[in-house]
Structure 1
Amino acid sequence: MAVFKDFQWSQSVRDQGNNVDEFKKINIIYGRNYSGKTTLSRILRALETGSISEKYNSPEFDISFMNGNHVTKKDVGSGQLIRVFNDDFIKDNLRFIIDDEKDINSFAILGEDNAKLEEEIADKEASLGKLEEKSGIIGKLISAEIDYHSAQKAHSDKTAELEQKLRDKANKTGTGIKHNKSFGDANYNVTKIKADIASVSLDSYNPISDEQITTFYELLREEPKDEVIESTEFDLKYDEITEKAKRLIEKKIMASDPIQELLNDAALASWVRSGREKHQGKRDRCAFCGNIIPPNLWNKLDKHFNKESEELRQALDNVLKEITTEQKRTSTLLDIKDSEFYSQFSDKLDLLKEDFSNTFTLYINSLESVKEQVNKRKDDIFFPLTFEEPGSVADDLNVLRSQYEKIREKSNKLTENLSSNQKKARSALRLNEVHTFLEDIHYANECSAIESLQQVVTDAETKKNQIKEDVDFKKAEIKDLKAQLKDESKGAERVNDFLNNYFGHQFLSLKAIEETSGDATTGYRFEVTRNSEKAYHLSEGECSLIAFCYFMAKLEDFETKGNQPIIWIDDPISSLDANHIFFVYSLINSNIVIPEEYSEDGEIKKRERFSQLFISTHNLDFLKYLKRLPGALNKKNSRYLIVTRVDDESTLSLMPRYLKDYVTEFNFLFHQIYKCANTDIESDESHSIFYNFGNNARKFLEAFLFYKFPNAVEKDDKLYRFFGRDALSSALTDRINNEYSHLEGLFERSVMPVDVPEMKSTAKFILDKINEKDPEQYEALLQSIGVEQ
C-alpha cells in the first residue's frame, strides 16, 4: 500500500536474536517526513470508518487482533473500537482548515447531573464487561469466539488432511493417477478426482471384477488390427458322397457267364482281373507260370467280367477319388490365425480350434468308413453290401464355422471401435482405482468426521452470534442511555478547556452554535472564534493545536468514553514550536495514558483510556518526551519502531538502540557515518547510506565541531583546526563542505554517480580523527549506537 511494497512483518520486525517481535500496549513509531507514517495510520482509519481511499492502487493489508480475527481490505469493518488522528481525520471533521468559510463537525460528550442515568449506564457497562479483562458478556463472547475459531481450525485441518490425500492420489509424482499412463489423463487433478468420487459413490456403480481388469489392461495394449477376411463356405460333399456310395455299394449286378470259382474267392477274382489287364493283347504265355494261355480264356473272362461290373467298378473308383479330394479339401477349410485377432479372443479361438480339430477328425473318420465300404464292394463286385452310414458331423462343422464368423465380426467391429473402447476401459480402470482408494482411506468415515466437525463449527458460530447479539443489544442500550445524557455544547467547551489550560490560547476558542428550524432545534455546529469573533487566516500552528484539542475532546464523546478504544495519533506536533510540543505531550499524558489508581478497598478508581496506543512522530524532541509516558519504558508494555524509506519503498522495523535510548539527531548522524565506513560497497541496500552521506557528514561535523570549538573567530575553519592542514585532510574536508552536500554551482554532480569508495574512505577518515583527538568521546559514541570498540 503506497510506499509499502510487499512488506512482510515477520521478515522486517525482528530483535537482535532474530526473533519476530510484536506491537505492544504502547507503541512509539519514529520516521522522517514522507517515510510512510501516515500510510500506516490510514490503514487503522480504514478500520474505523469502514472504507479506504479509492486513490490507492489495489491496496493489500492484513491485520490480526489478539482475539484471532483477521481484517483485510475486503472487510475493513473490524468490529474494534478505533480512533485515529491524522490528516484525514482533520479534513473530515475540521473543514475550516481547508476553507475558512466552513465549520467544524459538532460532537456530543456526556452531560452532567443525571445520577440515575449514569448509574444505569454503569450497571449495564459492568454487565457488558471489558475486553482486556475478558469479563461480563464480552468475556463470554471472547470465549465463544475462541471456541468458534478452534472448531473452525479443527474442521479446516481435517478438511485439509483429506484434501491432501485426494491431491496426492490425483497428481503425486510416481503414485498419482495423473502419472499412470494406463489411465491416459496427464491433466488429472483434484477437481477431476472429486468428480470421479461422485461417480463411484452412486448406487448404480458396480466395481469391476479382476477378470475385467485383466481384459481391460489387455485391451489397452492392443494396436489396431487389419480386417479379418471372411472364411470360405464349407460346401461339404459328405451327403453327396454317402448317397453315391450307398447306391453303388448296394447295387446288384450279374455276370453273363460267371466263373463260380472267382465268385467264391474275391481275392482270386481280383488277382485274375489284375492279371487280365497285364496279359490280354500283350502276352501268349503266362508271366507267372510260363504256360501258353488258351485262346478261349479271354472270351471266358469277358463273360465273367462284363460291361456292367466294369462300369460299377469305375463308379466306385470315382467315389473313392471324391472321398480323397474331400479329405484333402476340408483340412484347409478353417485356417485360424491368432495374430489376426485381438488378445481378448485368444481363449475362444483356442477352444474353437480344438473343437474344429476334433470335429474334423470325426468327419475324416466318417469318410474313411465310407471309403472302406466302397473298397469292400469293389473287391467283391458281384455281391451287393448293406451300406452302413457313419454318424454325420457336417452340421457340427458348419456350426463351428458360424462361431468363427461371429468372433471374426466382433474382432473387426473392435477394430472400428478400438479407440472408444479403450477410452471406456481407461475410465473403468480409473474409477476402479478411485473406488479402491476410497476404501483404503475409509473415505466415508473421513467425510462423516468432517460433517461432524462442521456441525461443531455451526453450533459454535450460532452460540457466538447469539452472544454477539447480546453484546450489540447491550451496547445499543448503553448508547441509547448515553444519548439521553449527551450535550453537544459541552464538546466545544472541552476543546476550549484544552486550548486554555494546556496552551494558554484564551483568545482562540471553539463556539457551539445552535441550529434551529422554526422553533425547533436541529443540532449544533462548531465555529472557531478569536476574541468572540469568527476567526480567519489561522496559522498552521494554530490549526494544528485546534485539530489536536478537538481530537482529544472527541475521545470523551458518548460513543467513545469508557470503552477503551485503540488510539492511533499520527505526528500531532506539525508546525508547533518547542513549548507547544511539550504541551501536546502533557495533554496525551494527562488525558490518555492515566495510570491505574486504587482505593483503600482495592477497587480501581482510574484506568487507562485505551486498549492499545500508537503515536508516530518525525520530531526527536517529541520522541524524547514520549519516553516519559507511564509504562513507555517497560519492555513488556511498550514497543519502539522506526519507519525507513529508501527511494520509493518503506519498511517498518525495531527502533535502533541509539535512537531509543538517547534520542538525539547527533547520535543518528554518527551512526550513519559509522555505517558508511563499515558497509559493503557492493550491496544495493547501502545506496541510500552513501547517497545521503554528504548531508549527514556536514550536519554531524557542524554540531560536533561547534561543541569542540565554541568560540566565534572570524574566518575560523573548524574543519581544518580539527582534522589538520595536510593535503589529504584539506582535500577530503573541502569535498565535504563544497560538493557532497551542495549542488549549487556544481550542477554536474547531480547527474553523476556518487563516488562510493571515496565516500567510504572519507567516513573512515572522520571516525579515525575523532578517535585520535578524543578517544573517550569516540568510545561513548560507539556505545550509544550499540557498537563495542
Structure 2
Amino acid sequence: MIEKIKFLKNLAVFNDFDWDSAVIDDSSNVLLLKKTNIIYGRNYSGKTTLSRVIRAMETGSISEKYENPECCISIHDNDDVTQVDFSSHNKVIRVFNDDFIKQNLKFIINPNENVEPFAILGGDNNVIEEEIKVLKEKLGVNEENQETALYKDLKSLQKSYDTAKLVHQTAERTLASQLNEKAIGNPNGIKYNSEKYGDQNYTNAKLRKEILVVKKDEFVPISDEEKTAEEKMLLEQAKDDIPDLKELILSFEIFSTKTKELVEKPIAQSDKIEDLVKDAVLNRWVKEGRDLHKDKLDTCAFCSSEIKETRWDELEKHFDEESDKLEKEITDLVTEIKNESKLLDSIKIIKKDDFYSKYHGEFETAKAAFDNSIINYQRTLGLLISQLEKRKNEIINAQLFEAPDNAKSHVDIAVEKIEELRVKSNEYTEKLSKDQEKAKKKLRLREIYDFIATIKYNEQVANIDLLKTKLEEEKKKRDDKQVEIDDVLSQVSEKQRQLKDESKGADKVNELLNNYFGHNFLSLKAIEFEDEDTGNKHYRFEIHRENKKAFHLSEGENSLIAFCYFMAKLQDIETKGKKPIIWIDDPISSLDSNHIFFIYTLINTQIYGEDDFEQLFISTHNLNFLKYLKRLPNANNDDKKSERKKLYRYLVIERNDKKSSIKIMPNYLRDYVSEFNYLFSQIYKCSTMENVDDSSYTAFYNFGNNARKFLELYLYYKYPDSTSPMDKMKKFFGDENIPAVFTDRLNNEYSHLSGVFERGETVVEVPEMNTAAKLIIERIKEEDFDQYEALLTSIGESQ
C-alpha cells in the first residue's frame, strides 16, 4: 500500500508540501494512509494535482507543463517512488480523473472521436473457463502465508534456496573478511605495513593472486634465519642520491703567467733620480710624500722648506705613468689572487653523512686529501703574492720570477677521488633499493604462506565450493518450479485471450448505466471494424442515443458515462484479479443529489462488493457525497479501533492563497458531514480570531462567501417565505439597520465584489470580518440558544 506522499514541490498549488510535518495527530505523531482514504477539498485546492501524481505511477510520466516537479511516494515493502522514475514499483494503479477521461473518452473533447475499447472475460465458452479453473487450482493461492499447490511448493523451494544462499554467502563473507583484514586491514594489514612488506597500494586482488603463488608446489618460503636477515636489511635506510659536485674553477696558470709578466717587466731608466733608484725604501717614502703634498702644500711638511717648481718636475719625471700603471696592475692581480684564496676558505664539499657508513672511511681520507690540496694551493698563491708585493715595493727594478709548483693538479685529483666515491654511493643506493624490494616480497610471501595455514584457507575454499554446488542445485529446483508455474500462467493467459471479448466491455458499461442510473436511452456500443493494414478485426466504442451516435451530451451525462466506463474497466483483463490501488478524483461533477447517491452505491457494491483492491482513495469537494462515503463498509466502527487496526483515513486539502497542504480531517467535518456545520465552523473561527496567520488566513479570505451561504441557508429555514434577503437580515438582526446593512455589505462585496472590483486586489480587512462574524454568532446565540449549542458541539467547541 501507499503509506504516505512524503513531499510535493513545484506541482501547481503544492509548492513545498511535507507529509511528516503536516499529517500529524494532536500528539504530533505522523499518521499513515490506510486501506480506504477519504479526501475532502474545496474546488481549486489541489485534488486533481494529487491524482495526477498517483496517475504518473500508472502511466510512467507526468505532465511536462510542471516546471521542475519533485515528489516522493512511500510504498510499503518497496523503494520510494520519485519523479526520477515513476515506474519503480510493482503495484497496479488505476486512477479516475480528468486526464483519464481525456485519454479514454475522447468524444467529450471532440464529438467525432470514440471511446477507447477494452476487453473483459467473456462468459460463453464454458469449456475454456473450466480449463482455466483447473489450471488455477493447479497453481493454487499466492497470498502471503496462505500459499497452496504449486505456489506452496515454490515457496518451500524458495526457502531452501534462501537458506543455501545464506549459508554460502556467510562462508564467502567469512573468508572474504579474513582476506580483507590481511590485505587492507588497519593497522595490521599488508597495505599498512609497506615498510616491511612493500606495496602501499596493496589490495584484496593482489592478495588472492599471491595466494595462488604460495600454493604452488615449487614455492619454497624463506627460513626463519633468512627472515631475520631480510628484516635487518630493511633497517638500512636508503639515502637520496648525492648531487654532482659543483665544478671548481681555479686560475693558477693564469695567475702564474701574469705574475711572471709583472715581476719581470722592465721600467725605462731615463730621467730617474739615481738615489731613489738605488734605494727602494727611500723611493717608496718619496712617492708617498709626493702623493701627500701634490696640489695641497707648497712647502715641505717635514722640513718646512719651499718645494720649488724644478723639484716638482724632477719628481714627475721619476714617478712617470709607466711605473704607476705597473703598480696598479700588480695591485689588481694581488686582489684577484686573494679573492680566489678567500673563496676556497668558504667552499662547501659533500658531508660525510651523505654517504653510507661503509664509505665513511674512504670519504674521510679523500676529504683530508682535498683539504690539504686546498691549503697547498693557497700557499702557492701566497708565493705569487709575495713576488708581486716585492716588485711593487721595488717598482723601478725588474725582478727574477721564481715559478712555484702547480698545486692545482693536487686539488683536481682530490676532487676526482670524491666524485668517484659519490658515484659508488649512488650506485649502492639503487642496489640497496632493489635488494630491499626483493626482501620485502620474500617477507610478504612468507607472511601469506603462514596466514593461509593459520586460517585453513584450503579447507574453507573446499567448503565454499561444496556450498556453491548445493546452492546451484537448490536454485535449479526453484527455477524449474518457477518455469512450471510460468508455463501454467502462460496457459491461463492464452485461454483468457481466447475468451477475450471487447464487446463485453461495452455491455458492462451499459449494465452499470442501466442498473444504477436508469439511463436506458444512453448506451455504449462496440463497433467491429477491420484493420486495413493487417486485416485483423478490432472494436471501437461509440456512445449511442436511440441507436444513433450521440452528440451534445450534457456535463452530467459525460460524468456518468465516464465513471461507469472507469468502473467497468476495473473488470478488464489487465486489472481483474490483480488487487489494484484505485484513486477516484471527484466523480460527481455536475451531478444532482440522486446521481451522487448512485455513484456512492456503485463504489460500495462494485469495489467493496468485489473486494478486489489493495487500497482505495476517493477525493471530493461535495459535502453531501462525503456524507455518503461515511457509510462505506465498517466506516462507522473504524473510529473505535486502535490506530494500527484502522481501515479508514480522513484527510482534508487546505489551500492558503497559492499554497495547499494535506492535513487530518477535523472531527466536526468527519463526524457531522454537512455544509451547514462547516460554514458555521468557518464563521465561528473568524469571530474568535482577530489576527491573520497561516492557520486562519483561509477562514478570513473566504469569509464573505461562507457567511453569504450560511445566512442564505439559516434564514431560509428561519423565514421560509418570499421576504427579500435584506428584510430577512433586518428581521434576524433586529430593528437596527446598521448590523444588517453592514453584514450584507461584507457578504456581497467579499463574496461577489458587487461592483467594487478593486476589492479583489486588496488585503482582507480583518477587523470588519471579525465584527461581522461576531454579530452573526451572537445573534444566533440570542435567537436560538439550543441550536447554537448543537452547532458548537458539532464542530468540537464548548460553550
TM-score band by shorter chain is 0.5 to 0.7
User: Aligned partner of 1:627: which letter?
Assistant: K
Residue-by-residue CA offset, 1:305-344 (whole Å, 9 max, x unaligned): xxxxxxxxxxxxxxxxxxxxxxxxx9x9887989x989x8
In the alignment, structure 1 residue 487 sits paired with structure 2 residue 498: no
Deviations 1:236-288 (A, max 9, x none): xxxxxxxxxxxxxxxxxxxxxxxxxxxxxxxxxxxxxxxxxxxxxxxxxxxxx
After TM superposition, the structure 1 = structure 2 runs for residues 438-477 of structure 1, keeping only pairs within 5 Å, are 474-477=488-491
Counterpart-to-counterpart distance in 2, 1:531 and 1:593:
33
Distance 1:496 1:668, change over 3 A: same
Q: 1:614 & 1:54 partners in 2: Cα distance? A: 25
User: Is residue 110–residue 482 contact of structure 1 (8 Å, CA) maintained in 2?
Assistant: yes
2:633 corresponds to 1:630: yes
Amino-acid identity (%): 48
Q: How much does 1:396 deviate?
A: 14
Q: 1:14 to 1:31 in 2, by over 3 A?
A: same
How far apart are the structure 1 equivalents of 2:34 and 2:237?
Answer: 70
Is this contact kept in 1: 2:366–2:418, CA < 8 A? no
The equivalent position to 1:552 in structure 2, one of 543, 557, 567, is 567
CA distance in 2, matches of 1:547, 1:536: 15
Distance 2:628 2:244 in 1: 99
The residue matched to 1:608 in structure 2 has which SS? coil
Q: Which amino acid aligns with 1:491?
A: G
Cα deviation, residue 537, structure 1 = 1.4
Cα gap change, 1:470 to 1:765, in 2 (>3 Å) = farther
With over 3 angstroms needed to count, the CA separation of the structure-2 counterparts of 1:105 and 1:463, relative to structure 1, is farther
Question: 1:20, 1:48 → 2: CA distance?
Answer: 27
Structure 2 SS opposite 1:671: helix
Unaligned runs of 5+ in 2: 1-10, 178-183, 185-199, 211-230, 253-340, 377-409, 427-450, 452-456, 640-645
Give the letter for the 2:790 counterpart: A
Query: How many angstroms does 1:753 deviate by?
Result: 2.1
> Which of 505, 515, 530 does residue 519 from structure 2 map onto?
505
Q: Choose which of 80, 88, 93 in structure 1 pairs with 2:99.
A: 88
Q: What TM-score do you get using the length of structure 2 for normalisation?
A: 0.59
Contact 1:133–1:139 at 8 Å: present in 2 too? Answer: no
2:604 equivalent to 1:589: yes
Q: Mean alpha-carbon deviation: is it higher for 608-617 or for 58-67?
A: 58-67
CA spacing shift, 1:90–1:113, aligned 2, 3 Å: same
Q: 1:121 to 1:769 in 2, by over 3 A?
A: same
1:116 corresponds to 2:130: no
Counterparts of 1:272-311 in structure 2, within 5 Å, are none
Displacement of 1:644: 2.4
CA drift at 1:475: 4.0
Q: Aligned equivalents of 1:675 and 1:616: distance in 2?
A: 25
User: 1:383-782 counterparts in 2 under 5 A?
Assistant: 474-516=488-530, 522-594=537-609, 608-633=611-636, 634-635=638-639, 636-679=646-689, 681=691, 683-684=693-694, 686-713=696-723, 717-724=727-734, 729=739, 732-782=742-792
SS at match of 1:5: strand
Deviation at 1:227, TM superposition (A): 13
Q: Which letter does structure 2 place at the counterpart of 1:54?
A: E
Change (3 A) 1:463 1:788: farther
Give the direction of change, closer, same or farther, for the CA distance of 1:25–1:697 in structure 2 (3 Å limit): same
The structural deviation recorded for 1:622 is: 1.2
Q: Which runs of 5+ in 1 are unaligned?
A: 163-168, 170-194, 220-225, 236-329, 368-394, 412-438, 440-444, 595-606
Q: For the residues of structure 2 that align with 1:525 and 1:722, how far apart are their CA atoms?
A: 60
Q: What CA distance in whole angstroms lies between the structure 2 residues aligned with 1:41 and 1:733?
A: 39
Given that 2:245 and 2:419 are in contact with CA atoms closer than 8 Å, whether structure 1 keeps it comes out as: no
What letter corresponds to residue 492 of structure 2 in structure 1? I
Contact kept in structure 1, 2:366 and 2:414, CA below 8 Å: no
Match of 1:107, as an amino acid? F
Shift in Å, 1:68:
2.7
* Conserved? CA contact 1:93–1:105, under 8 Å: yes
Superposition pairs of residues 260-409 of structure 1, within 5 angstroms: none
Assess if the C-alpha contact under 8 Å between 1:567 and 1:613 holds in 2: yes
**Residue 223 of structure 1 corresponds to which residue in structure 2?**
none
Kept in 1: contact 2:104–2:115 (CA 8 A): yes
- In the TM superposition, what is the alpha-carbon distance from 1:527 to its structure 2 partner? 2.0
- 1: distance between equivalents of 2:23 and 2:658? 19
Q: Which residue of 2 aligns with 1:36?
A: 46
Q: Secondary structure at the match of 2:752?
A: coil
- Of the three residues 86, 90, 98, the one matched with 1:79 is 90
The match for 2:67 is 57
Q: Is this contact kept in 2: 1:345–1:407, CA < 8 A?
A: no
Deviations 1:731-787 (A, max 9, x none): 742542343323222223223222234434443454444445444433332332233
**Please, what TM-score do these two structures have when normalized by structure 1?**
0.59
- TM-fit CA distance, 1:345: 5.5
* 1:478 Cα deviation from its structure 2 partner: 2.3
Distance 1:359 1:526, change over 3 A: closer
Report how far residue 471 of structure 1 moved: 6.3
Deviation at 1:661, TM superposition (A): 1.0
Per-residue CA deviation, residues 190-214 of structure 1 (Å, 9 max, x unaligned), is xxxxx9676997899xxxx999999
1:129-157 Cα shifts (integer Å, max 9, x gaps) = 34477535678999979989x99xx99xx
CA gap of 1:656–1:468, structure 2 versus 1, over 3 A, is farther
Deviation at 1:704, TM superposition (A): 2.8
CA distance in 1, matches of 2:203, 2:140: 49
Judged with a 3 Å threshold, the aligned counterparts in structure 2 of structure 1 residues 15 and 118 are, in CA distance, closer, same or farther, namely: farther
User: Are residue 129 (structure 1) and residue 144 (structure 2) matched?
Assistant: no
The residue aligned with 2:292 is none
Do structure 1's residue 46 and structure 2's residue 56 form an aligned pair? yes
Deviation at 1:90, TM superposition (A): 1.9
Pairwise CA distance, 1:583: 1.2
Pair 1:406–1:40, CA change in 2 (3 A): farther
Cα displacement (A) at 1:547: 1.6
Question: 1:552 offset after TM fit, Å?
Answer: 1.9
Displacement, 1:593? 0.9
Distance 1:534 1:52 in 2: 33
What is the distance in 2 between the residues matched to 1:692 and 1:663?
19
Structure 1 residues 358 and 60: CA distance shift in structure 2, 3 A? closer
1:399 and 1:114 mapped to 2: Cα distance? 116
The one-character-per-residue Cα deviations of 1:362-405 (angstroms, maximum 9, x if unpaired) are 99xxx9xxxxxxxxxxxxxxxxxxxxxxxxxxx99997996599
Q: 1:131 touches 1:139 (CA, 8 Å); kept in 2?
A: no
Aligned equivalents of 1:346 and 1:723: distance in 2?
A: 113
For 2:575 and 2:77, how far apart are their aligned partners in 1? Answer: 21
Deviations 1:168-199 (A, max 9, x none): x9xxxxxxxxxxxxxxxxxxxxxxxxx96769
Task: Give distance in 2, aligned partners of 1:558 and 1:734.
Answer: 58
CA contact (8 A) 1:492 1:511 kept: yes
Counterparts in 2 of 1:577 and 1:347: CA distance versus 1, 3 Å: same
Superimposed CA distance per residue, residues 48-95 of structure 1 (whole angstroms, 9 cap, x where no aligned partner): 334433333343333333333443341516332232222222222222
Letter in 2 for 1:626: L
Contact 2:742–2:772 (8 Å) recurs in 1? yes
> Which of 93, 98, 111 pairs up with 1:100?
111
> One-letter code of the match for 1:588?
I
Quick one: structure 1 residues 210 and 400, their matched pair in 2 at CA, closer, same or farther if it must change by over 3 Å?
A: farther
RMSD: 5.8
| DSSP 3-state at the match of 1:659 | helix
Deviation at 1:353, TM superposition (A): 13
